[in-house]
Amino acid sequence: MKSFIIIKTGSTLPTLRQRLGDFEDWIIRALGSSNAVITVVNIMAGEALPSVDTISGVIITGSPAMVTDKAAWMQRLVIWIPQVLERNIPLLGICFGHQLLAEAMGGHADYHPKGREIGTVSIQLTPEGKQDRLLGALPDDFLAHTTHAQTVTKLPPNALRLAENSFEIHHAFRLGDSAWGMQFHPEFSADIMSAYVNEQSASLLKEGHNVDELKAAICNTNAASSLLKRFMAIVQEQA
Pair 152, 183: CB distance under 8 Å:
yes
Count CB-CB contacts under 10 A for residue 68. Answer: 13
Count CB-CB contacts under 10 A for residue 101. Answer: 32
Q: Where are the alpha helices (DSSP H) in 116-187?
A: 127-131
Count CB-CB contacts under 10 A for residue 139. Answer: 11
Active-site positions? Answer: 95, 185, 187
Name the DSSP letter for residue 156: P
Q: Which of 89, 33, 101, 91 lies closest to 63 in space, CA to CA?
A: 101
Burial class (CB in 10 A: 0-12, 13-18, 19+), 72: exposed
> For residue 15, which phi and psi values (nearest 5 degrees)?
-65, -35
HEC readout, 38-55: EEEEEHHHCCCCCCHHHE
DSSP-based three-state secondary structure for 121: strand
Pair 164, 171: CB distance under 8 Å:
yes
